[in-house]
Amino acid sequence: MAADASPTAVAPARPDPTGPGRHAGEAQGPPAAPILAAEHVTLRFGGVRALTDVSFEVRRGEVFSIIGPNGAGKTSMVNCISGRYRPTEGAIRFDGKDITRLPTRKRAGIGIGRTFQNLALFGHMTVLDNIMVGRHHLLRHGFWTGMPYWLLGAQREEIAHRREVEEIIDFLEIQHVRKATAGTLSYGLRKRVELARAVALKPKLILLDEPMAGMNLEEKEDMARFILDLNEEWGMTVLMIEHDMGVVMDISHRVMVLDFGRKIAEGTPEAVLADPHVRRAYLGEADEVVHDVDEPAVA
Amino acid sequence: MASMIPAGVYRTSYREDMTILATRNSRLALWLGILLVCATPLVFGRYELGLLVNIGIMGIAALGLNILVGFTGQISIGHAAFFGFGAFASAWLHERYHVPVALCIPLAGLMTALVGLVFGAPAARLKGLYLAIATLAAQFILEDFFARAQWFTGGVAGRITEPFEILGWRADREETYLYVVLAWVIIMFVGASNLMRTRDGRALVAVRDHYLSAEVMGINLAYYRTLSFGIASLYAGIAGALYAHYLLFVSVEAFNILLSIQFLGMVIIGGLGSVAGSLMGAAFMVLLPEAVQALADALAGGAVDRALRLGNSISFLREMAIGAAIILFLIFEPDGLARRWRLIKAYWKLYPYSH
């Protein structure tokens, strides 16, 4: 497994079999059937419009990123998908089914997992238990069969799922903390445990809300590698919000840009970067200023 | 709940890694402890055995409350009412339908669980202080019910209960009833330990720690908040039934709000979110008045008594000590006896090196 998937924009192409093909679109990619479709989603809180008429599709098997300035509505969009918010107007379809009104708790079962921007681990549980909670909807034994642990098969089920959870633990390289209390871990590790918990759901679509916020370069590189592996080896579709443009441009198949709750661009990273609206709205005027100042100095 | 496994313990299977007790020595210690309790009738008199029986009964009830308060993060100031309901239910089942007492106890537990689910329904929507008030209402509603429902409780006069009997073996004295309580303590505590390492137990803790992400994990918040009331009431009901067949008489006054507060005290002193702590807290609360009484007796008529003119009020020391204990624990040991016990174990693990 290549360890040098660099999140910086200037890095050379990843040593990845798909190579630059990832950036070039969907030449060899999976069929374009959308796993998730947002249709004219509007979200209002009283007089405040968090989202205005946002439509987009996430194709099966891709890494799709949402970027935009602070307050652009990125997390609101993810909350609409995970069920925390209900869109005021519009619809959200997952796997062909309308899930706009589906209760949050039922979305784990249909294959939507997520992580949170501000850590949302179960602080007093061990890492192992945290991840096992992710298996909740896959486990069958309730309290009446769980209490006589050995008699009615709860133990067998626990062991079987423990085995799968250990694979996730191996993958995310958190073996050394599996028995530690989640609340005592460092920030980077907690982010990783949270990812593990979301992966344990066996989601088809995993929503990552700023998976790399507050991480150092090394931790970001690790996280980028995990996301790529989840996408390519575990076959999960990834929808990610991230501020680090280097990471976004490097690992996304497609990018959507939000600004003030509106979609202003969508496409491959190159296309989005080249879009004049995006340059103005997201990267700011400063771009041109820097350019102006730089020109004479170089010349 | 970080694990404390000494060096040199190697687990080679998941089954070994998922045991309740970490090491062979701790398992041995537990068996030894059970054996010691079994042997107590050879040494102790009826009074001391009665204390043990009380610790067991209160321990079961406290464990139920701990599942609700410590593990699920809810609050109940009506636990004594459910405890009382279990006591009356068991007595009623025996008298009305002539169910054998041995069967009455689990049945009373189930009946109480159902009542608990009803009164726990507000928990699906209420939290914190609001829930506290709702459970306070449960306490008073049930107390009122006990006083009025003559057919069920015998009204204010109370109800005589029959002693425990199974296959001709009668447990009507402390020496024998101790074993009945011990068996139930083992069943209920093992059950709770198992619960906490399986799906529903983890879901309860998840609801406590972060209910938003619990919901994203597919956990039905309303279901688990209500369920924890059901489980807490099951424990309270079984403890209450055991209490009824121990005293052989149940009456309304015993199950007032003071007992509810005492249960909360046991849970706090023992350690919120600790199965073993519940038993420690119960032991503390049962033995504390004894200790204070002994102290008061020693003081009575002594120099201190004369100097301060305590006289009769010396007996109030007992009541005050309970309140003081709760306050002191909240300040100095908010995680309860269970944590102190862990620290002691950690100390001996490293002894004689302090680091």
Please check the confidence at residue B209 and state whether its pLDDT lies above 60: yes
Q: Is residue B22 part of a domain?
A: no
Q: What is the average pLDDT score of chain B?
A: 88
Q: Tell whether A21 is within 8 A of chain B (Cβ).
A: no
**B-contacting residues of A 51-80, CB under 8 Å?**
none
Q: Of B192, B252, B230, B194, whose CA–CA distance to B60 is shortest?
A: B192
Specify burial of residue B98 (Cβ count, 10 A radius: 0-12, 13-18, 19+). exposed
Q: Tell whether A281 is within 8 A of chain B (Cβ).
A: no
Better-scored residue on pLDDT, B120 or A291: B120
Specify burial of residue A265 (Cβ count, 10 A radius: 0-12, 13-18, 19+). buried
Answer whether B180's CB lies under 8 Å from B171's CB.
yes
Q: Tell whether A175 is within 8 A of chain B (Cβ).
A: no
**Cβ pairs A/B, distance under 8 A:** 126
CB pair distance less than 8 Å for A125 and B15: no
Better-scored residue on pLDDT, B20 or B281: B281
Q: Tell whether B175 is within 8 A of chain A (Cβ).
A: no
Q: Is residue B33 part of a domain?
A: no
Per-residue model confidence (pLDDT) at position B303: 73
Answer whether A51's CB lies under 8 Å from A38's CB.
no
- Report residue B74's pLDDT band, with 50, 70 and 90 as the boundaries: very high
Answer whether B5's CB lies under 8 Å from B342's CB.
no
- Coil, strand or helix at B173: coil
Q: What does the pLDDT look like over B329-354, one tens digit per residue?
A: 888 888 888 888 888 877 777 777 76
Q: What does the pLDDT look like over B143-187, one tens digit per residue?
A: 999 988 888 888 888 888 888 888 878 888 888 899 999 999 999
How much is the average pLDDT of B10-19? Answer: 81
Q: At what angle do helices B174-196 and B275-299 cross, to 10 degrees?
A: 140
Domain ranges in chain A are 1-12+34-110+244-294
Q: Are strands A262-267 and A254-259 parallel, antiparallel or unpaired?
A: antiparallel
Distance in angstroms (rounded) separating the CA atoms of residues B307 and B73:
47
Q: Is residue B261 part of a domain?
A: yes
Q: Which residue of A has its CA nearest to B273?
A: A124
Tell me the three-class secondary structure of chain A, residue by residue.
CCCCCCCCCCCCCCCCCCHHHHCCCCCCCCCCCEEEEEEEEEEEECCEEEEEEEEEEEECCCEEEEECCCCCCHHHHHHHHHCCCCCCEEEEEECCEECCCCCHHHHHHHCEEECCCCCCCCCCCEHHHHHHHHCHHHCCCCHHHHCCCCCCCHHHHHHHHHHHHHHHHHHCCCHHHCCCEHHHCCHHHHHHHHHHHHHHCCCCEEEEECCCCCCCHHHHHHHHHHHHHHHHCCCCEEEEECCCHHHHHHHCCEEEEEECCEEEEEECHHHHHHCHHHHHHHHCCHHHHHHHHHHHHHC
What residue has token string 């009803």? B118
Per-residue model confidence (pLDDT) at position A3: 42
Give the count of beta carbons closer than 10 Å to the beta carbon of residue A299. Answer: 5
What residue has token string 């829930």? B131
Mutate to test the interface with B, among A122, A128, A195 (most CBs of B within 10 A): A122
Q: Which residue of B has its CA nearest to A118?
A: B213
Q: Which residue of B has its CA nearest to A137?
A: B218
- Report residue B279's pLDDT band, with 50, 70 and 90 as the boundaries: very high
C-alpha pair distances (Å), A220 with each of A225, A244, A299? 8, 9, 36
| Per-residue confidence in pLDDT tens, chain A, 299 aa | 344 444 444 333 333 334 344 444 444 454 567 999 999 999 999 888 999 999 999 999 999 999 988 888 999 999 999 999 999 999 999 998 999 999 999 999 999 999 998 889 999 999 999 999 999 999 988 888 888 888 888 899 999 999 999 999 999 999 999 899 999 999 889 999 999 999 999 999 999 999 998 888 999 999 999 999 999 999 999 999 998 888 899 999 999 999 889 998 999 999 988 888 888 776 665 544 334 444 444 33
Q: What does the pLDDT look like over B78-106, one tens digit per residue?
A: 999 999 999 999 999 998 898 888 999 99
Q: Tell whether B113 is within 8 A of chain A (Cβ).
A: no
Q: Which residue of B has its CA nearest to A163?
A: B14
Per-residue model confidence (pLDDT) at position B354: 65
Work out the angle at residue B58's Cα, subtended by the Cα atoms of residues B52 and B60, and round it to the nearest 5 degrees.
Answer: 105
Distance in angstroms (rounded) separating the CA atoms of residues A176 and A190:
13
Q: Is residue B285 part of a domain?
A: yes
Answer whether B70's CB lies under 8 Å from B267's CB.
yes
Q: Is residue B13 part of a domain?
A: no
State how far residue B241 is from chain A, nearest Cα, in angstroms: 20
State how far residue B214 is from chain A, nearest Cα, in angstroms: 8
Per-residue model confidence (pLDDT) at position A274: 87
Q: Is residue B219 part of a domain?
A: yes
State how far residue A236 is from chain B, nearest Cα, in angstroms: 17
CATH no., domain A1-12+34-110+244-294: 3.40.50.300
CB pair distance less than 8 Å for A146 and B200: yes
Domain membership of residue B113 as a residue range: 41-350
Q: What is the pTM of this model?
A: 0.87
Q: Tell whether A134 is within 8 A of chain B (Cβ).
A: yes
Q: Of B2, B19, B345, whose CA–CA distance to B190 is shortest?
A: B19
- Check which CATH number belongs to the domain holding B327 and give it: 1.10.3470
Q: Is residue B288 part of a domain?
A: yes
Q: Which residue of A has its CA nearest to B272?
A: A124
CB pair distance less than 8 Å for B231 and A104: no
Answer whether A148's CB lies under 8 Å from A176's CB.
no
- Coil, strand or helix at B105: helix
Per-residue model confidence (pLDDT) at position B234: 96
Q: Which residue of B has its CA nearest to A203?
A: B217
Q: Is residue B118 part of a domain?
A: yes
Number of domains in chain B: 1
- Coil, strand or helix at B45: coil
Better-scored residue on pLDDT, B22 or B239: B239
What residue has token string 């005050």? B320
CB pair distance less than 8 Å for B218 and A201: yes
Question: Which of chain B's residues have a Cβ under 8 Å away from the Cβ of A159?
Answer: 14-15, 18
Per-residue model confidence (pLDDT) at position A53: 93
Distance in angstroms (rounded) separating the CA atoms of residues B79 and B67:
12
Mutate to test the interface with A, among B19, B216, B225, B226 (most CBs of A within 10 A): B216
Q: Are strands A63-67 and A48-59 parallel, antiparallel or unpaired?
A: unpaired
CB pair distance less than 8 Å for B212 and A84: yes
